[in-house]
Structure 1
Amino acid sequence: MVLAAQGKKINQISIDEIDWLTKLRRGLEETRKGFVTELLDKLGDDPLTPESLDDLETLLIRADVGIDSTDKVISSLRTKLNEEVVGGEAGIKFLKKELKLIIDKPIKDSGSDLLVPQKGKLNVWLLVGVNGVGKTTTLGKLAYLSSKSNYKTLIAAADTFRAAAVEQLKVWGDRSNVDVISNKSKNADPAAVVFDAINSAKKRNVDLLLVDTAGRLQTKNNLMDELAKIKKIIDKKVPDAIVESLLVLDASQGQNGLKQAKSFAKSADLSGAIITKLDGTSRGGVSLAVSEEVNLPIRFIGAGEGIKDLRPFNSYEFVEAMLADK
């Protein structure tokens, strides 16, 4: 996959990467408006006090950072205040560090900083989530990113419940130059579509098979059973396949997205999350809540409607964009 710009000098960052960083910063503008501007106004250059920490706690919760994440950050800051005087600028720097630690923990626990297909084996990525979070669009963007990163990619249109899903995927497939395996029968068995896609992937020596699934509520047993059936077919057909179940979450849903993550984590074997629609929402902090309260690594984020507007997640970029003061 295309690597993020973290750690690179300015003259080493491509125009494409600069465009993405600018877009991410703009996308998180609403989160900043409801958080950083007020935070900087409250803190200024004065030393942090117990009262200013109370204000910070309120701001973090309002930004959908989550109760657990907020408690952890505030507790760390209180400890630091007992050791030394911390000015406003130093407080922001310390806050950035704490937020990065929270969001990086599940990524480090997973043993892999970046989710990339492993060459020499079939990688199968299942995209799951409720209706309306952008699974199909996200899959199309993943197909583009994977193809441009020189991974041989194939799409399985296993959302057979939504009439427009297959046609929508075919449009994305054409834009990404990636083939789509589908079943023309009405209400076709999603597991059968995945069966055919695996056969095709093996014949073509595909690196990455992306599977679109029907929007499901974690309380709907039949749909969750269908997901389990798909996984059984993958295990049977390709026992050594590397399978990832990625939960797609809409950032604009805030704490509802966190509830979805908690529920899906109980009923599906999730390995990561993709946060979409970060542009134009004041609830970008939910990414931290998902990291802390579900211990789910965030693998990709979307901040725009264009085909290039999905990138591998980078905590440094994200926190810097969210807490930018301009």
Structure 2
Amino acid sequence: MDIDPIVLISLPVLLVVLLGGLVARGRSGQKPGGREVGQGGGTDVLERPAPGQTPVAADEELAAPHVDVGPDTLPEVVVPDTPAELVEPELMPLGERFKRRLSRTRNVLGASVADLFGRGITDEAWDGLEEALITADVGVTATLEIIEELKRRSREEGVTTADGVLDLLKQALRSALGTADRSLGRATDEGPTVWLVTGVNGTGKTTTIGKLAAVEQREGRELVLAAADTWRAAAAEQLGVWADRTGAHLVRKDEGADPASVAFESYAAATERSADLLIVDTAGRLHNKRELMDELGKVKRVLEKQAGPLEETLLVLDATTGQNGIAQARAFLEAVEVTGIALTKLDGSSKGGIVVAVQRELDLPVKLVGLGEDIDDLAVFDPELFVEGLFAGITD
């Protein structure tokens, strides 16, 4: 039979192409050990074939014949007990978080000390520092007292440098913050600890509760969350999301229900479940609405009839509101006996001095501060770390 000379010439080329394709298919996407490196988009080779075997593709796995693979050829696969997305990240040290998250206030206050006193201890420098303290919302009265104290000490101690003034200012701020107990109260008798949380809409009250619940859950405590904010349509839903995330039991009623009845039923549920902690969310009451403030007092009275004095009544304030927060706090103090302040959004404000103003004007300790949006960015307030964070790196 005659064969076309063109075919004879083409055969070797065709064989080379076919052999090259087979070799490329066997090598593509593999590392030593036979695991597929590529992701999607084609046929994935699952295992390196034994000698003489055909590679097994992902879509042929069920139909492929069984191949015995010994321990020397199959790497061990370790399945974690907890899915990767649920593993808690390692927390940044609290001091480092204060340094990073107080940058806005530091730019207003800390930088002023270095700039103003770098040219000497002058009246103009003291005036500039006074302005910086007021801008940072330390408060006019507190600022004037601090400036007079700094002037006196600088004269008596012979301070002549910016570093010396900065050291005196740190001491003055620590003194203004005092040594109040900032720990959160716990029940000493049988029954759940009760924390009542209140504050104006938009301060981050419900988010603060959720972050508190996350901290408590990691400590192994059983929680009940009470959605006693029945005025805002999405309040119970928002609290429910946090309950799901933290494994807490949620007590809620329909929109418009009596908040005091929600509080009553939540304490009964916490007792029945032998819960360690009950956190009660309340409506974001406007401080100029007398009837809403009266209702807040009713919620607290109902809880106290069941539980006795509450371990905490926390008022959530927004650091970005500055001196307005003082006015809000005074109105709440008329309705309930507040035990401490949770100051949110401290990382987003240049008015971090409000911590000093709140404590001085209201004689209430700042117990918690919000340092960011993440679930772990609610921290117990530490005056030493706060002051150091305000001036970190200023004179380095």
TM-score between the two structures when normalised by the length of structure 2? 0.73
Match for residue 173 of structure 2 among 96, 99, 102: 99
1:50/1:78 contact within 8 Å kept: no
Residue 254 (structure 1) aligned with residue 329 (structure 2): no
Return the structure number with greater helix share.
Answer: 1
Question: Any stretches of 5+ residues in structure 1 without a counterpart?
Answer: 1-13
1:276/1:302 contact within 8 Å kept: yes
Structure 1 residue 116: Cα displacement: 4.1
> What does 1:21-170 correspond to in 2, within 5 Å?
21-44=95-118, 48-86=121-159, 87-105=161-179, 107=180, 112-121=181-190, 122-170=192-240
Deviations along 1:115-152, one digit per CA (max 9) or x if unpaired, are 24245443211111111101000100011112222333
Deviations along 1:196-240, one digit per CA (max 9) or x if unpaired, are 10001111222221111001122212111111111111121122x
2:91/2:376 contact within 8 Å kept: no
**Match of 1:209?**
278
C-alpha spacing 1:116/1:238, structure 2 compared with 1 (3 Å): closer
**Match of 1:195?**
264
d(CA) in 1 for partners of 2:150, 2:338: 32
SS at match of 1:219: coil
Q: Which amino acid aligns with 1:16?
A: L
Structure 1 residue 302: Cα displacement: 0.5
SS at match of 1:287: helix
d(CA) in 1 for partners of 2:200, 2:240: 21
Structure 1 residue 17: Cα displacement: 4.1
Structure 1 residue 272: Cα displacement: 0.6
Deviations along 1:44-65, one digit per CA (max 9) or x if unpaired, are 2x65344422221111001111
d(CA) in 1 for partners of 2:212, 2:256: 25
SS at match of 2:233: coil
**Match of 1:293?**
361
> What does 1:164-243 correspond to in 2, within 5 Å?
164-183=234-253, 185-239=254-308, 241-243=309-311
Match for residue 91 of structure 2 among 11, 16, 22: 16
Residue 268 (structure 1) aligned with residue 331 (structure 2): no
d(CA) in 2 for partners of 1:225, 1:265: 12
> What does 1:296-307 correspond to in 2, within 5 Å?
296-307=364-375
2:186/2:311 contact within 8 Å kept: no
Q: Which amino acid aligns with 1:40?
A: A
* Aligned length, in residue pairs: 304
Q: Tell me which of the two structures has the higher relative contact order, counting C-alpha pairs closer than 8 angstroms and 6 or more residues apart.
A: 1
Question: Any stretches of 5+ residues in structure 2 without a counterpart?
Answer: 1-88
* CA RMSD across the alignment: 1.9
Structure 1 residue 102: Cα displacement: 1.1
Q: Which amino acid aligns with 2:244?
A: D
d(CA) in 1 for partners of 2:241, 2:140: 41
Residue 311 (structure 1) aligned with residue 384 (structure 2): no
Structure 1 residue 26: Cα displacement: 2.2
SS at match of 1:100: helix
1:68/1:289 contact within 8 Å kept: no
1:127/1:245 contact within 8 Å kept: yes
d(CA) in 2 for partners of 1:96, 1:119: 37
d(CA) in 1 for partners of 2:184, 2:200: 22
**Match of 1:7?**
none
SS at match of 2:256: coil
SS at match of 1:247: strand
d(CA) in 2 for partners of 1:29, 1:84: 30
SS at match of 1:275: strand
